[in-house]
Amino acid sequence: MKLQELKKIDKRMAPIMLGWMINSLGFGAIVPFMTVYFHTERGLAMRYISLFFLAAAVLRTLSQSIGGSVSDVIGRRGLMIWSQFSRSLIFLFSGIAIRYEMSIWVIAAILLSQYLVSSFFQPIASAMIADILLPQKRAGGYALMRMAGNVGWGIGPAIGGFLFDISYESLFFFTAVIFLISGIYTVFSIKETVIPLKREKTAKNNGMNFKTMVKAFRRDRVFLFFCVIALLLFLTWGQFVSTLSVFMKRDIGMTSTQIGWVYTFNAILVIVFQVLITHWTRNRNHFLLMIIGSLLFALSYAVMGWVPGFAMMMVMMIFITFGEMFAGPSGNTIASNMARPGQFGRYQGIYSSISTLGWSLGPAIGGIMMDLIPNMHLFWLSMSSFGFVAVFGFLILYHKTKGVSAT
């Protein structure tokens, strides 16, 4: 996607991109430091933290699979507004609970409610892109969304690292304000992109529960295989803001500010290079791009145990980020292009559920393994194994779809 091509992007993309950026800023400030707080500040064993992420995986998977299908029926905008305002309240209550040093399980329960009632934004925003853009332009659209998200992600961890050293509850109050701003912005700026006609028929066909995912998988076996392989990739990718942050803090001895700058560097790389990579790969088979991205992830995490400090971690982040830039937009594009007309929300909801499941199960598995394998060399080799399996899975899909431009 060349610079002049950005002007040709549908104008409805701009408010969605800004909303995604604000959303990412809030999460970027808090997510990298959540595991650090539980483990280093409250002394919670990683195996117990893994239970939290396991519960989050189940709740977010259910929530996002339902949210995508529901948005096909009743529209997208209303659910996005609900997501942002409810998140604001939940993070406000979380900050209060931390301020008054309530039980760690009370804090965890409040945070888990966010995963259940508020995880609609990402699959709905992804579905909106499929509503707006033609298939051949969706990869560019998803790349722009990733850039917007990484602007927020770049600012968020830097702020989070600073606030973490002041007080952990301030992180939650800051995030509550960010989601409140995002909700208000959504009300006044984001327009509906789908007309929910013939609701009764659509509701019957789409379903609004977990059966939606099962039916889609029975009908589309290639999509099922793609989701299984993507899940394996996300199990490795999911270590990014959980076990990796603990490793940087506990095993390498990096400060919270340095950890924040590592994640900010990740975001800067995406902002600078994502459009260029998307333009260079615009005519490539997206399964090939998933192979490249998965390989970069797997190799990076395989050698992570030998990283001695901040400088080398910044180098490792270059390889991890390029893996992200190859795999990220391609996964969403594949899901959109596999979807039948009128079911973009369903397929994006399912794919978002799979990515969320991996991002949540990954830290759960990583937390348990971190307690069981104190040797960080062996630990990171174990975590990278999921990524290597994903490489072979995407290689199979690439050979099955070679020469097919739709994917």
Q: State pLDDT tens for residues 31-84.
A: 778 888 888 888 888 888 888 878 877 787 777 667 767 777 778 888 888 888
Is residue 198 assigned to a domain? no
Query: What integer is the mean pLDDT of 219-226?
Result: 83
Tell me: the pLDDT tens digits for 227-256? 999 999 999 998 987 789 889 988 999 988
Q: Does 286 reside within a domain?
A: yes
Region 86-108: what's the mean pLDDT?
90
pLDDT at 9: 57
pLDDT band at 263 (very low <50, low <70, confident <90, very high): confident
Domain of 104, CATH number, reads 1.20.1250.20
* 3-class DSSP assignment, residue 216: helix
For the cut 90, the answer to whether the pLDDT of residue 378 exceeds it is yes
C-alpha 264/C-alpha 328 separation (Å) is: 18
C-alpha–C-alpha distance, residues 69 and 127, integer Å: 10
Neighbours of 117 (CB within 10 A): 16
Residues 339-354 have a mean pLDDT of 73
Task: Compute the average pLDDT of residues 300-316.
Answer: 96
4 in any annotated domain: no
Domain range spanning residue 109?
11-190+206-401
> Distances in Å between the alpha carbon of 3 and those of 9, 215, 381?
11, 41, 40
pLDDT for res 373: 93
How many residues does this entry show for the chain? 407
SS (HEC) of 278-335:
HHHCCCCCHHHHHHHHHHHHHHHHHCHHHCCCHHHHHHHHHHHHHHHHHHHHHHHHHH
Backbone angles phi, psi at 143, to 5 degrees: -65, -40
Q: Which stretches of 219-301 are assigned E, i.e. beta strand?
A: none
User: Taking residues 108-126, what's their average pLDDT?
Assistant: 78
**Which residue has tokens 């195996």?**
47
SS3 39: helix
DSSP track, 333-359 = HHHHHHSPTT-HHHHHHHHHHHHHHHH
* Residue 407 resides in a domain: no
- Beta carbons within 10 angstroms of residue 167's beta carbon: 13
Other CB atoms within a 10 A radius of the CB of residue 373 amount to 15
Residue bearing tokens 């700026």: 189
Percent of the chain with pLDDT over 70: 87
Q: Are 226 and 338 in contact (CB under 8 A)?
A: yes
Report angle CA 24, 9, 196 to the nearest 5 degrees: 75
Amino acid found at 116: L
Please say whether the beta carbons of 211 and 217 come within 8 A. no
| Residues 278-301 pLDDT 10s | 778 777 888 999 999 999 999 999
Is position 197 within any domain?
Answer: no
Whether residue 150 lies inside any domain: the answer is yes
Is residue 199 domain-resident? no
Asked, for residue 261, whether it belongs to a domain, the answer is yes
Quick one: pLDDT at residue 206? 43
Higher pLDDT, residue 201 or 348: 348
Total domains present in the chain: 1
Q: Which pLDDT score is estimated for 212?
A: 60
The pLDDT of residue 202 is above 60: no
Is 406 or 222 the better-scoring residue by pLDDT?
222
Residue 2 has pLDDT above 70, yes or no: no
Reported confidence tier of residue 208, pLDDT bands at 50, 70, 90: very low
Average pLDDT over the chain reads 81
The upper half-sphere exposure of residue 5, i.e. CA atoms within 13 Å in the direction of its Cβ, equals 12
Residue 100, classed as helix, strand or coil, is coil
